[in-house]
Structure 1
Amino acid sequence: MTKIATLKTKGEKELVGYDRMVFSRPELYNLLMARVALEKIHYNKKVISIEQNQEGAMILCSDGTTYYGDILVGADGAYSGVRQGLYRQLQRIGRLPSSDALELSKGYICMVGTTAPLNPAHYPGLDGEVSSAYQVIGKKSKYSWSAFSVSGNRICWNVVSQLATFEEAVEEKFRNSEWNPQTIGPMIAEVKDFLTPFGGTIGELISATPTDMISRVFLEDKLFETWHAGRTLLPSSGQGAVTAMQDAVALANCLYELTSFSPDHIQEALQIYKDERFSQVQEQYEASKVNAKLIYGQTFLERCARHLIFNYMPMSVQAKASSKGMAYRPQASFLPLVADRGTCQVMPQKPSKRYLHEQLKKNSATVI
């Protein structure tokens, strides 16, 4: 438990105009789901095949149910059933780039959870107004782990295992496709005695976490070239919640501008979406790989880089590097835009012709 470095976010609010806030991911899920009609959400559905033609798109699920629509968005991960179905179709007709047919690179396995309320007397700093965030890197180990205090005297924790070989990645791919709470036992047995800076062990945090609040995911490492074909779209994958929300906003803006659901109009909208997102995702993908090596890396060179960057890189250089990713902040074009609050230069957003037209109609007086 030797301290390696202290990371600071000095001047961040001045740059972006907002404080950094820390909260558990299930709270974000609940916030989003509170805005969606419950009958529109279906659970325990596994896509096994897709079909699409000039009239629409269809998915067949493992329970025998089928669903139809004008557009199919495969936002179900890197091992997406939608992606596999579409790529098989494209491969049969020779339209799938060879790079998209390759397996993903070796990556990381991540187990995460949020505890029930804990006793602050046993975990110093747990009830503070400012979150305590700790990242622990195992010594000569494939594991690293973290613990963040969040409101309600709870701790969000994770354990990350760096996969050493491609064969390990293929095996974990299969395991993750059949994930359920009972399959995490072997990993828990390996990490339960790891110490945390709050006091106690990871095992104690896991024991204080409801089973349905524990997830185990495979963090993949690949940027696909093929994002859409026909009526089917595959958003960028494996880049976390921020990119997922940016994907959703950019896609919603493109769909909002659709004047019809004809194949040509849909293809045009999906291509506009990719044109906006691909370069941004590519940049974030490269940054994500570097960050993963700094935070989780176990090789000698990764340890050296971590020591030098976290202890000797000037704060001004760190701030400049972080502000680069803050410039891209898409907003829903069908809502009033939020004004910039910080000093960071924000990339301009293309205005919505439809929204401007509707606002003009709304504000115009009718004269008879």
Structure 2
Amino acid sequence: MTTPASSKRVAPRVLIVGAGLSGLMLAILFEKMGDVEYFILERAPAAKPLGSAMSLTPSIQLLFDQLGMGEELKKISLRFPGAKLYDENLKLLGEVVHPKTFQKMGGHILLPRPELFDLLLSKIPTERMQWKKRVLKVDEEDEDNKDQVTITCADGSKYVADMVVGADGVYSSVRQNMYRVMEEQGILPKADKEPLNVGFACMVGVTSAMDPEKYPELKDDFAHFRSVVGGVRHNWGAINMPNNKFAWQFNLQYLDDKEAKRQLFMNSEWGPESNKEMLDEFKELPNPFGGKMADFINETPPELVSRVFLEYKLFKTWYHGRCVLVGDACHKMLPGGGAGAVNAFQDAVILANCLYDVDGKSVSSLQAAFQSYYEQRFEKAKAIYKMSEVMSKVMSGLTWQDRLARWLVMRMPQWVLQRDFEKAAAYRPQAMFLPLVGDKGMIPADPQKPCARYVALQKKAAQAKATAATGSVAV
């Protein structure tokens, strides 16, 4: 399922900085195109997928089906019908249930982030990956490569390409270099100079296989998401995962400015690190699946415990020159609603669609593709960014305003939730340079901008087939 051989063009050479979800998905789409030379530069020394549970909505599951990864995705995931919220004494506060129509489309699925990372990485040839490549400089004015972009890494190595994709997260080196150039030119928007919004410290982990007799929820074919909203500064929760595992999460919220700066200094990426103080604060708390949270912490391999400081911000500038941003590099969202991964994948597929029509390596042709990508994605990302902020406060907020919002949402009429979910579910982009997969049919999908080159190729192939058929009849 790749681009037909007859579709020869002058495709740009691409450097993808960052082997996160958006970068890996973009690489898989390039593999399907078949004519794009690309390489991924990743700062980590080796593949170490970290994180906890994550959800994917129907709006992105069709893309996995289209890429031939749907069945593999199902094997590592569980249905995710909704979430239950408790107070610190494990008294049920309420439940957020996904509407039935949404569930009939496939509904949310929930899966371990490490296993999703492994699935994506398995689709990319090893020769396309370069590890231990921390990007220091992105230069479009290199004397030896004025019509290209040059990347310089911390080890002194250099890479030259026609364009660079910054898929390197919220602390993106590509974005920082891009913004520095724009600042020097006096064209960087004021909003993009402002710091990230303060979020909260978060520690997550995935246990080893647990005993289904002790935790009967492990026997179910769907995920039980149980979140505890308690105390003054923290909340916690857990969810059963495939293969008899649990994912757990601790959030330490509403830090003062001094503590927030200390946390920001300590954290720059997902990664396992010693943080006994924070773990000790949660060990004796009640586990919504029974016992204490220490029962899950003690059964979690140290390499599967990671800590991150969650900020959020929607950047206004997504591209400049030969550089373009995807995923957290241009829109860092809070985890409420599970929007981060979905939007990262949507960025990748829309950018791939736009690049498919690029024939040539000029900066003007690339800029046209980047602008089309931005126009298709910015308002969509903006709406989900706002939703994720609201849902994060509903699911884990501790102020009286958050508690009121949570009370209202859990008592909201089903038709209101149905309307909001359907609006989000209607946006489910696919690769427009590949045959589209059949839709679930429950909610009409939003129309997509077609790839002009693919339409022309299909028309040419149909004409050739008709000519051949006519010729055979004449004989």
Q: TM-score range by the shorter chain?
A: over 0.9
Distance 1:217 1:178, change over 3 A: closer
Q: Which residue of 1 aligns with 2:227?
A: 135
- Does the 8 Å contact 1:14/1:343 carry over to 2? no
1:324-350 superposed Cα distances (whole Å, 9 cap, x missing partner): 211211110111112321322321012
1:73 and 1:233 in contact (8 A); partners too: yes
2:95 maps to what in 1? 6
Summarize the Cα distance change of 1:348–1:166 in structure 2 as closer, same or farther, 3 Å threshold. Answer: farther
Question: Are residues 1:150 and 2:241 paired?
Answer: yes
Q: 1:111 to 1:307 in 2, by over 3 A?
A: same
SS of residue in 2 equivalent to 1:181: coil
Please tell me whether residue 294 in structure 1 is matched to residue 384 in structure 2.
no
Task: Give 1:64 shift.
Answer: 2.3
CA distance in 2, matches of 1:322, 1:333: 24
Per the alignment, residue 252 of structure 1 pairs with 352
For 1:202, give the aligned amino acid.
M
| Distance 1:172-1:230 versus aligned 2 partners, 3 A rule | same
Is the CA contact (8 Å cut-off) linking 2:201 and 2:308 kept in structure 1? yes
**Which deviates more from structure 2 when the two are superposed, residues 293-302 or residues 130-139?**
130-139
Deviations 1:119-145 (A, max 9, x none): 1122231222222111111232x2122
Are residues 1:218 and 2:306 paired? no
CA distance 1:123–1:14, shift in 2 (3 Å): closer
Question: Is 2:323 aligned against 1:238?
Answer: no
Change (3 A) 1:238 1:299: same
SS of 1:4's equivalent in the other structure is: strand
Residue 36 of structure 1 deviates from its aligned partner by: 0.5
Q: Letter of the aligned partner of 1:52 in structure 2? A: E
Conserved 8 A contact 1:162-1:296? no
Shift of 1:95: 1.3
Q: Which has the higher strand share?
A: 2
Structure 1, residues 247-269: CA drift from partner, whole Å, max 9, x if none?
00011111111011101001111
Taking structure 2 as the reference length, the TM-score comes to 0.73
| Aligned 8 A contact 2:206 2:245 in 1 | yes
Partner of 2:109: 21
Matches within 5 A, 1:266-345: 266-310=366-410, 312-345=411-444
Task: Tell me the equivalent position of 2:275.
Answer: 184
How many Å separate the matches in 1 of 2:130 and 2:297?
28
Q: 1:48 to 1:322 in 2, by over 3 A?
A: same
After TM superposition, give the deviation of residue 309 of structure 1 in Å: 1.8
CA distances 1:237-286 after superposition (whole Å, capped 9, x unpaired): 32310100000001111111101110100111101110111100110111
> Which consecutive unaligned segments of at least 5 residues does structure 1 have?
none
State the Cα distance separating 1:200 from its structure 2 match.
2.8
Structure 2 stretches lacking a partner, 5+ long: 1-89, 334-339
Residue in structure 1 matched with residue 54 of structure 2 by the alignment: none
Partner residue of 1:163 out of 242, 248, 254: 254
Pair 1:202 & 2:293 matched = yes
Aligned residue number for residue 107 of structure 1: 199
Deviation at 1:227, TM superposition (A): 0.8
The alpha carbon displacement at 1:65 in A equals: 2.3
Q: Which has the larger displacement, 229-238 or 356-365?
A: 356-365
Q: Once the two structures are superposed, what CA deviation does each residue of 1:34-70 show, in whole Å capped at 9, x if it has no partner?
A: 1101222233332222111452112222222222211
Verify the 8 A CA contact 1:116 1:210 in the aligned structure 2: yes
Please, which of 188, 192, 205 is the counterpart of residue 96 of structure 1? 188
> 3-state DSSP class of the match of 2:238?
strand
Partners of 1:174 and 1:158 in 2: CA distance:
21
Cα distance in structure 2, aligned partners of 1:209 and 1:60 = 38
Q: 1:20 to 1:182 in 2, by over 3 A?
A: closer
How far apart are residue 179 of structure 1 and its match?
6.3
Question: Which has the higher mean CA deviation after the structures are superposed, 62-71 or 358-367?
Answer: 358-367
For residues 275-325 of structure 1, give each alpha carbon's deviation from its aligned partner in whole angstroms, at most 9, with x where no partner exists.
111100110111111111111111011112212221x21111111122221
Structure 1 contact 124–198 (Cα < 8 Å) conserved: no
CA distance in 2, matches of 1:157, 1:12: 29
Q: Deviations over 1:56-85 (max 9, x none)?
A: 112222222222211111111121111111
Identical positions, percent: 38
Distance 1:354 1:342, change over 3 A: same
Q: Compute the displacement of 1:167 (Å).
A: 4.2
Number of residue equivalences: 365
Structure 2 partner of 1:32: 120
CA distance in structure 1 between the partners assigned to 2:270 and 2:434 by the alignment: 39
Indicate conservation of the 8 Å contact 2:167/2:325, yes or no: yes
Please give the alpha-carbon distance, in whole angstroms, between the structure 2 residues aligned to 1:218 and 1:106: 9
One-letter code aligned to 1:237:
H
Matched position secondary structure for 2:120 = helix
**AA aligned opposite 1:200:** G
C-alpha distance in 2, partners of 1:178/1:255? 29
Kindly report the root-mean-square deviation, in angstroms, between the aligned alpha carbons of the 2 structures: 2.0
Aligned: 1:62 with 2:147: no
**For 1:191 and 1:125, how far apart are their aligned partners in 2?**
22
- Scaled by the length of structure 1, the TM-score of the pair is 0.93
Distance 1:101 1:207, change over 3 A: same
Name the CA shift for 1:168/1:59 in 2 (closer, same or farther; >3 Å).
farther
Change (3 A) 1:179 1:246: closer
Query: Compared with structure 1, are the counterparts of its residues 36 and 179 closer, same or farther at alpha carbon in structure 2 (3 Å cutoff)?
Result: closer
Aligned to 2:176: 84
